[in-house]
A and B are shown apart, each in its own frame.
Chain A
Amino acid sequence: MKDNFLTEFYNTIIGFFRQTEKKEEEQKNAKEVACNRLRVVLMQDRTNLTPELQERMRIELVDLLSKYVEMDREALELSFEPVDGQMALMLSIPVLRAREEAEIIATLSEEDLKDEEDITEETHAEEVENLDEEIVLDEEISEEHEEVLQEDSSEELTNESEDKKESEEEIKE
């Protein structure tokens, strides 16, 4: 019984001190938390990158790096941190396995082939885009023209209708 009581007593006292320790840590953190949150927010503010753009950048980086090393696609972390007063893009990349050289070369050559196809496609695509732009421009111009035309025609119409009315009146007379 006495032993039990003593151990309980000991535990409660130790627990009390641990709690106060924790509280002190939390208090220390209030300022640290503020600093860290601010650093992150300011980096985002300064880069002009929205969370969506950042995620896209992350995915593209994962795609790029996966050619050379096998990695956990979800675990790549991106962050902006100040280093020597300059903004640095920090990447944390957990590598699962190094790829064989042959494997890398194989994927790369595949890529190259794809790229060549892409290039031809892209040039086509660009041409199409250019065409689209021109068309858009044309449309804008034609719209303006149309507006002018409409104004003109509406005036004409009103004139015409007036004329008609007049002629009708004449007929009535």
Chain B
Amino acid sequence: MQSGILENPSQAKKIKGETMSGRVIVITSGKGGVGKTTTNANIGTALAKAGKKVVMIDTDLGLRNLDLLLGLENRIVYTIVDVVEERCKLKQALVKDKKNPNLCLLAAAQTRDKTAVTEEQLKNICEELKKDFDFILVDCPAGIEQGFQNAVAGASEAIVVTTPEMSAVRDADRIIGLLEAREEIKSYKLLLNRVRPNLIKSNDMMSVEDVVEILSASLIGVIPEDTGIITSTNKGEPIVNDEKSLAGQAYANVARRIIGEDVPFLNLEEDTSIMAKVKKFFSGLMSKEK
């Protein structure tokens, strides 16, 4: 496994010298509010931290939010619509991240709707970006209409974000059906977000295994529900930058799996039981002191 890690950067350099051919990954879900944009921001940041050149494309025209999660909302000059309508060059529209120069954002236009960019145009943009970046992450809007079709057009891989709730799983199944019908999508992986180990333990929520079995898709990550997501969104800083956060670690692991490392899944249940043990230990001490 170590040799794998060592091999990767040298390979990247080799490719850099010639022409790079980046991987285009679309992050989609069908249902809104399951954490597509959060996932995009965090995986992108984690990949960039791992030394990869990453560009994120927000295709949610009219409802852009990726800029907020990255804290870049004040730096946007040009959007994807400006590129398409040739008011600027593609490189001019890329907004660099504050911390990581490896990370760029191509923002969506807030004043336009999904018809402002076509599938063909998005495909071309992805092809152009492939030359300069290792990863192109496409943030897909909710729904299965034109916005979805556009976002998927340029991608060859997909991450389907869902939560262990019935409506989200049902929509994910629909999305998987649509992805399977598209020839250009070579593989798709499932990311299970907002998992609550306590509820799963008490059999009140579907478990990770249940969702994987029902959707019969392979898993790329399990992210626990974390209140830290709210504060990180408020600050405009992805939670992967907080190394103590469990959700942050889980996102970092997803990024490593995307690169090709074999990372075991965090055992969320065990973690809670450790917390429980710690609590028990301290409560035991307290009672002794009394």
Contact = CB atoms under 8 A, between A and B. Distances in A.
Interface of A: 27-32, 34-35, 37-39, 41-42, 45-46, 82, 85
Interface residues of B, number: 16
A6 to B, nearest CB: 36
Given A35-B210, A35-B214, A46-B177, A27 B203 contact: yes
A28 B202 CA distance: 7
Given A37-B166, A38-B166, A38-B169, A31 B210 contact: yes
Given A37-B166, A42-B173, A30 B203 contact: yes
Given A27-B203, A42-B170, A85 B214 contact: no
Contacts of A85: 216
A41 B205 CA distance: 18
Contacts of B200: 31
A34 B170 contact: no
Contact of B206 (A31, A41, A45): A31
Given A38-B214, A46-B177, A28 B166 contact: no
Contacts of A28: 203
A27 B214 contact: no
Given A34-B166, A37-B166, A42 B214 contact: yes
A45 B214 contact: no
Contacts of A35: 206, 210, 214
Contacts of A30: 203-205
Contacts of B214: 35, 38-39, 42
B203 A34 contact: no
Interface of B: 166, 169-170, 173-174, 177, 200, 202-207, 210, 214, 216
Interface residues of B, dominant DSSP: helix
**Main SS class of interface, A:** helix
Given A41-B170, A45-B173, A45-B174, A34 B206 contact: yes
Given A38-B169, A38-B170, A85-B216, A31 B177 contact: no
Contacts of B206: 31, 34-35, 38
A45 B210 CA distance: 18
19 contacts: A27-B202, A27-B203, A27-B204, A28-B203, A29-B203, A30-B205, A31-B204, A31-B206, A31-B207, A32-B203, A34-B206, A35-B206, A35-B214, A38-B169, A41-B166, A41-B170, A45-B174, A46-B177, A82-B216
Contacts of B173: 42, 45-46
B62 to A, nearest CB: 28
B204 to A, nearest CB: 5
Nearest to B216: A85
Given A31-B200, A31-B204, 18 more contacts: A27-B202, A27-B204, A30-B203, A30-B204, A30-B205, A31-B206, A31-B207, A34-B166, A35-B206, A37-B166, A38-B169, A38-B206, A38-B214, A41-B166, A41-B170, A42-B173, A45-B174, A82-B216
A42 B162 CA distance: 15
Q: Which 9 A-B pairs have the closest CB atoms?
A: A28-B203, A31-B203, A30-B204, A42-B173, A35-B210, A38-B166, A34-B206, A85-B216, A34-B166
